[in-house]
């Protein structure tokens, strides 16, 4: 069978009738029907989402062992074999985290077509919609559909405030995911750089999609992202993320707040030329004698009396007297 026929028969047409029926149950509100469909889709895919979240947590907890493998084996082939062996030992699939995204992608595309068909205002779109509806009273009686929800026109492109909402929600989701990685794994520059890129790139891409597609589809994606944040917070955990960490360091300093993360103490700077500087750790404590190579205490004579080191002037005078004696 052609792919288009399968797509329309088993996905697009049932989704059209489902959205029209949900709109009738939601007192004629198509926007509320989209939110109800978002909750239903999340509930249907919840077992897969839960499995994905557990796999994500196991992968993040295994980051220290993965870094040990990378340090221990320099051969890329051996490193890959040991890493896959660790994955089999933990019973996780590194690509399993993409499961919910792969399922939502065809739903996202199908819902885009459904919104264009159900909310069309031209005679052709209305005729096309009537030919796709089932012969059910609840579906036939819901036409025409309402195109407004709150301050949204569900047919038009997503407004800027909805774009900003999607961007913030996806950014927060990526931040919580990377926060869990930082809390369970040792610092890795490559991993930190990838997390930083994903934290900004993914929200930017989907925000652009929301800006160019109907607002009803942006409403679905915003609701789905918020539900994903709640599920991830419950079953995976926030990691090192706190709401106070969203405040920039400069603003925290001006408000008298503590830093978001404790700063690491700086290592003492080594002097040039291999010279050693005396630090607090290298200084002898009061009342503690330090031994020299000759077995005597530093700064102390053999007879137990403490003496001072000869100054430079006395050393020069002793050397002059020694030369005079030789003459």
By residue count, the chain amounts to 327
φ/ψ of 258, rounded to 5, equals -75, 155
Q: 95-99, 259-263, 297-301: which range is least confident on average?
A: 297-301
Q: Residue 296 falls within a domain, yes or no?
A: yes
Average pLDDT, the chain: 75
> Does residue 17 or residue 325 have the better pLDDT?
17
Residue 324 confidence (pLDDT) above 60: no
* 81 vs 179 pLDDT, higher one: 81
In a domain, 269, yes or no: yes
Q: Is the pLDDT of residue 163 over 90?
A: yes
Q: Is residue 208 part of a domain?
A: no
Question: Does residue 196 register a pLDDT over 80?
Answer: no
Buried b (16+ CB within 10 A) or exposed e, 172-194: bbbbbbbbbbbebbeebeebeee
Q: How confident is the model at residue 311 (pLDDT cuts 50, 70, 90)?
A: low
Q: What pLDDT band is residue 174 in, cutting at 50, 70 and 90?
A: confident
Strands (E), the chain: 148-149, 152-153
With CA atoms as reference, report the closest residue to 145 among 15, 8, 36, 16: 16
Phi/psi of residue 291, nearest 5 degrees: -90, 145
Is the per-residue pLDDT at 178 higher than 80? Answer: no
Residue 33 inside a domain? The answer is no
168 vs 305, higher pLDDT: 168
pLDDT at residue 160, as a whole number: 94
Q: What is the pTM of this model?
A: 0.68
* Structure confidence at residue 286 (pLDDT): 46
Domain annotation covers residue 44: no
Token pair for residue 312?
A: 């430079």
Range of the domain at 319: 264-326
Q: How many domains is the chain partitioned into structurally?
A: 1
Within-domain flag for 281: yes
3-22, pLDDT tens digit by residue?
888 888 888 899 999 999 99
CB atoms within 10 A of CB 55: 20
Average pLDDT over every residue of 202-212: 90
Question: pLDDT tens for residues 135-162?
Answer: 888 888 888 888 899 889 999 998 999 9
Mean pLDDT of 265-292: 45
Answer yes or no: is 301 within a domain.
Answer: yes
Tell me whether residue 268 is in a domain.
Answer: yes
Q: How many CB atoms lie within 10 A of CB 91?
A: 9
- Cα separations (Å) of 308 from 206, 300, 311? 75, 8, 9
Q: Residue 205: CB partners within 8 Å, gap ≥ 6?
A: none
pLDDT of 208-218, one tens digit each? 989 999 999 99
């Amino acid at each position: 069978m052609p792919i288009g026929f399968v797509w329309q028969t088993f996905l697009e047409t049932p989704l059209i009738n489902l959205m029209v029926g949900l709109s009738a149950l939601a007192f004629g509100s198509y926007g509320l029907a989209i939110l109800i469909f978002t909750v239903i889709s999340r509930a249907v895919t919840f077992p897969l989402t839960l499995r994905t979240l557990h796999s994500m947590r196991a992968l993040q907890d295994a980051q220290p062992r993965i870094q040990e493998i990378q340090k221990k084996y320099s051969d890329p082939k051996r490193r890959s074999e040991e890493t896959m062996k660790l994955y089999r030992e933990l019973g996780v699939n590194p690509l399993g985290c993409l499961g919910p995204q792969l399922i939502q992608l065809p739903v996202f595309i199908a819902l885009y077509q459904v919104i264009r068909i159900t909310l069309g205002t031209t005679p052709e779109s209305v005729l096309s919609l009537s030919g796709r509806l089932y012969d059910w009273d609840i579906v036939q009686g819901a036409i025409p559909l309402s195109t407004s929800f709150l301050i949204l026109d569900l047919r038009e492109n997503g407004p800027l405030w909805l774009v900003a909402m999607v961007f913030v929600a996806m950014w927060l989701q990526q931040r919580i995911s990377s926060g869990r990685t930082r809390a369970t794994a040792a610092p890795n520059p490559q991993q930190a750089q990838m997390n930083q890129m994903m934290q900004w790139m993914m929200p930017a891409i989907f925000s652009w999609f929301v800006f160019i597609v109907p607002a009803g589809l942006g409403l679905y994606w915003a609701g789905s992202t918020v539900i994903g944040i709640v599920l991830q917070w419950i079953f995976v955990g926030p990691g090192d993320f706190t709401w106070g960490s969203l405040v920039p360091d400069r603003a925290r300093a001006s408000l008298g707040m503590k830093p978001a993360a404790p700063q690491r103490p700086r290592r003492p700077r080594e002097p040039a030329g291999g010279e050693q500087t005396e630090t607090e750790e290298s200084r002898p404590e009061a009342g503690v004698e330090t031994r020299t190579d000759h077995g005597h205490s530093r700064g102390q004579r053999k007879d137990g009396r403490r003496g001072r080191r000869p100054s430079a002037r006395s050393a020069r005078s002793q050397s002059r007297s020694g030369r005079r004696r030789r003459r």
